[in-house]
């Protein structure tokens, strides 16, 4: 049974016209309940991280500023989300969600987080709708606990995982790989262990070839004990922030192929949903469900 990690506080009342689709987490959960993929027996609820724990990965002053709502205007604008108690709550839970998902993956081979992938968050500032970096947080906690010796972060969100790259640049036990559209946010890229910058308008076949060749090489060379997979759906052709030309089938094929290749080698995989934007929030939720549907298919055959 595929473990799913979710917290009802992930979505909270948020300005409906805001570019960031805060409703998508609860809509995704609802959709997975309706299709029978999520049910009482396979859902796990993460706790809230204390500031001190987040301060092991992020600058403690930055964590305090987020929690207390004392971030200055400029930093607030860069982060891109209006501060509220609800925002702080979900922001302190989501990194624990990715950590829990990874722990479940280590036990059961595969697990999915119905949130996560806040890869633009840096050590001491937030950016691009990302506040705390759940991938860097989970990786650090897992290494500190001795649960794993080597982690591969395979980030297929259409935007470069700049925060993850910067925060883990000096951590040789985590290999960061970002496969993204080169001419897209962030303008100033950080250096991952491997960056694969894709051309504007790339279509399914070239994209899938690139993703799979990259992953196969990394699994061989890095030999990770765990893969954290960011299955961002902003690669979708109609995504307003995407700039690639990937179909829904292309996304499903990508997710299936990534998980399958890891599992065929016996490597545990934890997935996070990453970015995805659409004024049609239900269509967006169904798009984010693709990775979980593919994972559920693979979990049955494990
Ligand atoms: Zn993105």
Model pLDDT, residue 180:
98
Q: Is the peptide bond before 186 cis (omega within 30 degrees of 0)?
A: yes
**Pairing outcome for strands 4-5 and 194-198:** unpaired
- Distance (Å, whole) CA 154 – CA 13: 31
Q: How close is the Cα of 111 to the center of ligand 1, in Å?
A: 21
Report pLDDT for 16.
72
Task: Provide the β-strand partners of residue 270.
Answer: 111, 228
Rounded to the nearest angstrom, the distance between the alpha carbon of 157 and the centre of ligand 1 is: 5
Angstrom distance (rounded) from CA 190 to CA 257:
27
How many CB atoms within 10 Å of residue 161? Answer: 35
d(CA 297, CA 256): 9
CA of 68 to the centre of ligand 1 (A): 27
CA 232–ligand 1 middle distance (angstroms): 6
Supply the pLDDT for residue 67: 97
Output the pTM of the full model.
Answer: 0.98
pLDDT in tens, the chain (302 residues): 999 999 999 999 988 778 899 999 999 999 999 999 999 999 999 999 999 999 999 999 999 999 999 999 999 999 999 999 999 999 999 999 999 999 999 999 999 999 999 999 999 999 999 999 999 999 999 999 999 999 999 999 999 999 999 999 999 999 999 999 999 999 999 999 999 999 999 999 999 999 999 999 999 999 999 999 999 999 999 999 999 999 999 999 999 999 999 999 999 999 999 999 999 999 999 999 999 999 999 999 88
**What's the burial of 89, exposed, middle or buried (CB within 10 Å: 0-12/13-18/19+)?**
middle
Mean pLDDT of the residues in the chain: 97
Distance 194 CA to ligand 1 centre (A): 17
C-alpha of residue 165 to centroid of ligand 1, in Å: 15
The C-alpha atoms of residue 26 and residue 120 are separated, in whole angstroms, by 22
The Å distance, Cα 234 to ligand 1 centre, comes to 6
Among residues 200, 201, 111, 127, which one has the least CA distance to residue 164? 127
Return the pLDDT at 43.
Answer: 98
CA distance 149 to 133: 20
**Residue carrying the six token digits 């169904």:** 286
CB atoms within 10 A of CB 43: 16
Distance 41 CA to ligand 1 centre (A): 31
At residue 301, the pLDDT reads 87
Please give the Cα distance from 271 to 220 (Å, whole number): 20
Other CB atoms within a 10 A radius of the CB of residue 215 amount to 22
Instruction: Give the pair of three-digit tokens for residue 134.
Output: 């759940």
Q: How far is the CA of 189 from the centre of ligand 1 (A)?
A: 13
pLDDT digits (tens, 9 = 90+) for 159-193: 999 999 999 999 999 999 999 999 999 999 999 99
pLDDT score of 14: 87
* Distance from residue 140's CA to the centre of ligand 1 (Å): 22
């Amino acid at each position: 049974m595929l473990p799913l990690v979710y917290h009802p506080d992930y979505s909270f009342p948020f300005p409906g016209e805001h570019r960031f689709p805060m409703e998508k987490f609860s809509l995704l959960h609802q959709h997975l309940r309706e299709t029978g993929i999520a049910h009482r027996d396979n859902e796990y609820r993460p706790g809230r991280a204390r500031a001190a724990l987040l301060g092991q990965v992020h600058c403690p002053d930055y964590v305090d500023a987020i929690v207390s709502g004392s971030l200055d205007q400029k930093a607030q604008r860069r982060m891109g989300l209006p501060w509220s108690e609800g925002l702080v709550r979900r922001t302190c839970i989501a990194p624990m969600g990715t950590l829990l998902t990874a722990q479940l993956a280590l036990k059961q081979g595969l697990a999915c987080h119905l949130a996560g992938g806040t890869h633009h968050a840096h050590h001491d500032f937030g950016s691009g709708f990302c506040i705390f970096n759940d991938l860097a947080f989970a990786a650090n906690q897992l290494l500190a606990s001795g649960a794993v010796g080597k982690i591969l972060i395979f980030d297929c969100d259409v935007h470069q995982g700049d925060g993850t790259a910067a925060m883990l640049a000096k951590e040789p036990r985590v290999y960061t790989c970002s496969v993204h559209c080169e001419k897209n946010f962030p303008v100033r890229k950080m250096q991952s262990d491997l960056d694969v910058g894709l051309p504007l308008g790339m279509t399914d076949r070239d994209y899938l070839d690139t993703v799979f060749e990259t992953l196969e090489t990394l699994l061989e060379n890095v030999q990770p004990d765990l893969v954290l997979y960011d299955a961002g759906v902003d690669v979708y052709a109609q995504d307003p922030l995407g700039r690639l030309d990937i179909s829904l089938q292309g996304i499903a094929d990508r997710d299936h192929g990534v998980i399958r290749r890891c599992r065929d080698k016996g490597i545990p995989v934890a997935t996070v949903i990453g970015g995805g934007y659409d004024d049609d929030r239900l269509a967006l939720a169904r798009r984010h469900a693709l990775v979980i549907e593919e994972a559920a298919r693979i979990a049955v055959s494990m």
